[in-house]
């Protein structure tokens, strides 16, 4: 089943921000906005919920710290204790100050690498994925707002978008997919 989507193209990010606020005030659903660079405050203007990626970063850091502690305890204390510089390794707590750099590095390593993987999975950016950019000009100097026409009057919506400063408006029949 096809649904109607309206693409409104803008040439200025300030005009885009005002347009987003006006479209949201009229209770239309903005599907996506494509920009050539990050626009500060656009997520709040679109009404997007706050991200929980910081919580996952903390959890991944805790996993890295746990792996570091268990790894160093097993390697340096239980499996193969060594007398380094006349200082025997009797317990983990006695040697922990020497292990702090390793704990820090593995905490950062796990948080950073697992966050990249989480970001790609959450954004559905798979290797060899076909680009979903509807207009190539949005990678250079234009901004595109994709508004779901749904059951709304398309003519009224296009006139609203024209009044917000859109330089080009297209009505498109979009195939519904599960992405």
DSSP string computed for 72-120? HIIIIIII----BTTB----HHHHHHHHHHHHHHHHHHHHHHHHHHHHH
- Domain total of the chain: 1
pLDDT of 124 higher than 60: yes
Q: Give the orientation angle of helix 53-72 with respect to helix 92-122, to 10 degrees.
A: 140
Residue 102 domain flag: yes
- Residue 97 located in a structural domain: yes
Q: In this structure, is residue 113 part of a structural domain?
A: yes
- % of the chain surpassing 90 pLDDT: 55
- What's the pLDDT at 14? 93
Q: The pTM is what?
A: 0.69
Q: Which residue has the higher pLDDT, 2 or 146?
A: 146
65 lies in a domain?
yes
Average pLDDT over every residue of 141-152: 89
Q: Is the pLDDT of residue 177 over 70?
A: no
Residue 166 has pLDDT above 80, yes or no: yes
b (16+ CB within 10 A) / e for 54-77: eebbeebbeebbeebbeebbeebb
Q: Has residue 155 been placed in a domain?
A: no
Evaluate whether residue 74 is within a structural domain.
yes
Is the per-residue pLDDT at 81 higher than 90?
A: no
Residue 88 maps to a domain: yes
Q: Domain range for residue 116? A: 53-122
For residue 11, being part of any structural domain is answered with no
What is the arithmetic mean of pLDDT over 140-154? 89
Binned at pLDDT 50, 70 and 90, residue 55 comes out as very high
State the pLDDT at residue 167: 93
128 confidence band (pLDDT: 50, 70, 90): confident
Q: Tell me which of 8-22, 60-74, 89-103 is least confident.
A: 89-103
Q: For residue range 92-121, list pLDDT tens digits in order.
A: 787 788 889 999 999 999 999 999 999 888
Supply the pLDDT for residue 21.
94
pLDDT attached to residue 2: 58
């Amino acid at each position: 089943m096809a649904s109607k989507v309206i693409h409104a193209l803008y040439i200025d990010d300030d005009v885009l921000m005002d347009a987003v606020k006006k479209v949201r005030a009229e209770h239309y659903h903005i599907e996506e906005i494509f920009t050539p660079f990050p626009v500060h405050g656009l997520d709040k203007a679109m009404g997007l919920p706050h991200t929980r990626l910081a919580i996952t970063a903390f959890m991944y850091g805790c996993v890295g710290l746990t792996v570091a502690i268990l790894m160093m305890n097993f390697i340096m204390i239980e499996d193969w204790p060594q007398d380094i510089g006349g200082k025997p390794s009797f317990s983990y707590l006695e040697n922990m100050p020497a292990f702090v750099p390793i704990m820090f590095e593995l905490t950062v390593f796990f948080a950073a690498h697992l966050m990249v993987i989480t970001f790609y999975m959450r954004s559905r950016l798979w290797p060899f994925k076909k680009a979903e950019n509807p207009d190539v000009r949005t990678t250079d100097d234009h901004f595109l707002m994709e508004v779901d026409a749904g059951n709304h009057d398309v003519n009224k919506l296009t006139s609203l978008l024209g009044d917000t400063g859109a330089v080009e408006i297209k009505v498109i029949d979009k195939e519904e997919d599960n992405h």
